[in-house]
């Protein structure tokens, strides 16, 4: 099994994160300031995503990353490989994403002199508290909604990227840096636009029980959210998700492509 895609995914995920960090910091009210937790989590998750995607394509089409420019895989194969990567990465992402959402939703975002101590003091404390209070399975709360969010949308992610590269690159050649940046950016936007409705539901499931609300499942959460807030609830966060998605995924794909070309 080729491993360079896992390594390239690891590094490119970390590079993308550096660009996305200001957006995440805004979303997290300044609580989530350190870089080590997000770098570690995104690098692992991106490594699984790109590594599984590329190896799934290898299984489906018997072509390596280098051979795919001359013999492009079909869009159906790209979609299936992207969905496989999205499905598997969701289980690696689930605990990290849960911690992020729990910290993001704290009503006391930061410890201040004289103010009540926040429930979670930081990512490691949050993980340990969830483990103690909700058990090991608690760390996977919302994982099903996350899987539903990521499986199809990562298929869309890779189809958009490969489709745009194919469109703007002469046959048999590698896409230029500008093409990779634009295709990567739009792939990020396309995936986040389609992911946002389930992203809203996933975050609510991850907070389930903590604010008095208890959902009976993903469908119940959808129905009760729409009843109380209207269908517009599914668009929450769309603007910031899309604004963050372009630069993050442009540099993620650029560094991924360059690392793989550099390794031959
Ligand atoms: C849930 N969706 C839409 C995605 N995971 N899309 C792929 C983008 C991954 C990238 N690390 C990012 O955070 O934008």
- The candidate with the shortest Cα–Cα distance to 41, out of 90, 104, 82, 97, is 97
Using pLDDT thresholds of 50, 70 and 90, give the confidence band for residue 117: confident
pLDDT above 50 (res 31): no
252 and 15 in contact (C-beta within 8 Å)? yes
pLDDT for the residue numbered 34: 61
CA of residue 188 to ligand 1 center, whole Å = 6
46 CA: nearest ligand 1 atom = 11
User: What is the C-alpha separation between 198 and 6, in angstroms, rounded?
Assistant: 27
Top mean-pLDDT range of 33-37, 106-110, 179-183 = 179-183
pLDDT top residue among 15 and 35: 15
pLDDT for the residue numbered 26: 60
CA of residue 82 to ligand 1 center, whole Å = 12
Least confident of 34-43, 129-138, 197-206, 230-239: 34-43
Top mean-pLDDT range of 3-7, 108-112, 222-226 = 222-226
Residues 232-251: pLDDT tens digits?
A: 999 999 999 999 999 999 99
Q: What is the domain partition of the chain in residue ranges?
A: 1-134, 141-263
pLDDT for the residue numbered 201: 96
User: What is the C-alpha separation between 174 and 63, in angstroms, rounded?
Assistant: 16
Percentage of the chain surpassing pLDDT 90? 64
Overall average pLDDT of the 185-197 stretch? 97
Tokens 């499905």, residue located: 87
ipTM of the complex: 0.95
180 and 254 in contact (C-beta within 8 Å)? yes
If one residue of 82, 84, 143, 157 were mutated to test the ligand 1 pocket, choosing by the most ligand atoms within 8 A of its CB, it would be: 157
pLDDT for the residue numbered 106: 78
- The candidate with the shortest Cα–Cα distance to 218, out of 148, 153, 155, is 148
Least confident of 154-158, 219-223, 225-229, 259-263: 259-263
User: Virtual CA dihedral for 34, 51, 242, 138, nearest 10 degrees?
Assistant: -60
pLDDT for the residue numbered 224: 94
- The candidate with the shortest Cα–Cα distance to 221, out of 235, 210, 207, is 207
Decide: residue 130, CB within 10 A, 0-12 exposed, 13-18 middle, 19+ buried: buried
211 and 158 in contact (C-beta within 8 Å)? no
**Beta strands in 15-168, from DSSP E residues, in sequence order:** none
Top mean-pLDDT range of 53-67, 117-131, 229-243 = 229-243
Q: Find how far residue 168's CA is from the centre of its chain.
A: 26
CA of residue 170 to ligand 1 center, whole Å = 28
Residues 203-234: pLDDT tens digits?
A: 999 988 677 678 999 999 999 999 999 999 99
CA of residue 46 to ligand 1 center, whole Å = 9
pLDDT top residue among 192 and 208: 192
Least confident of 26-30, 100-104, 122-126: 26-30
User: What is the C-alpha separation between 13 and 27, in angstroms, rounded?
Assistant: 19
86 CA: nearest ligand 1 atom = 5
pLDDT for the residue numbered 75: 96
Q: Is CATH 1.10.3720.10 correct for 141-263?
A: no
């Amino acid at each position: 099994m080729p491993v360079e895609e896992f390594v390239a995914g690891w590094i490119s995920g970390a590079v993308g994160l550096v660009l996305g960090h200001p957006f995440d910091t805004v979303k997290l009210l300044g609580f989530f300031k350190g870089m080590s937790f997000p770098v570690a989590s995104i690098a692992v998750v991106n490594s699984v995503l790109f590594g599984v995607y590329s190896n799934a394509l290898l299984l489906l089409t018997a072509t390596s990353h280098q051979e795919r420019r001359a013999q492009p895989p079909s869009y159906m194969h790209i979609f299936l490989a992207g969905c496989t990567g999205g499905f598997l990465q969701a289980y690696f992402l689930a605990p990290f994403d849960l911690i992020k959402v729990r910290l993001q939703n704290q009503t006391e975002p930061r410890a201040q002199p004289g103010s009540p101590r926040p429930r979670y003091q930081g990512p490691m404390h949050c993980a340990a508290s969830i483990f103690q209070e909700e058990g090991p399975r608690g760390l996977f709360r919302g994982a099903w909604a996350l899987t539903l969010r990521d499986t199809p949308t990562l298929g869309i992610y890779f189809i958009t990227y490969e489709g745009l590269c194919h469109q703007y690159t002469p046959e048999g050649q590698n896409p230029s840096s500008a093409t990779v940046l634009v295709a990567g950016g739009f792939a990020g936007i396309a995936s986040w636009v389609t992911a946002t409705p389930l992203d809203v539901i996933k975050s609510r499931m991850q907070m389930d029980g903590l604010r008095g609300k208890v959902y009976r499942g993903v469908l119940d959460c959808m129905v009760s959210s729409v009843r109380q807030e209207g269908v517009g609830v599914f668009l929450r966060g769309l603007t910031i998700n899309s604004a963050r998605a372009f630069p993050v995924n442009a540099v993620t794909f650029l560094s991924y492509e360059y690392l793989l070309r550099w390794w031959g």
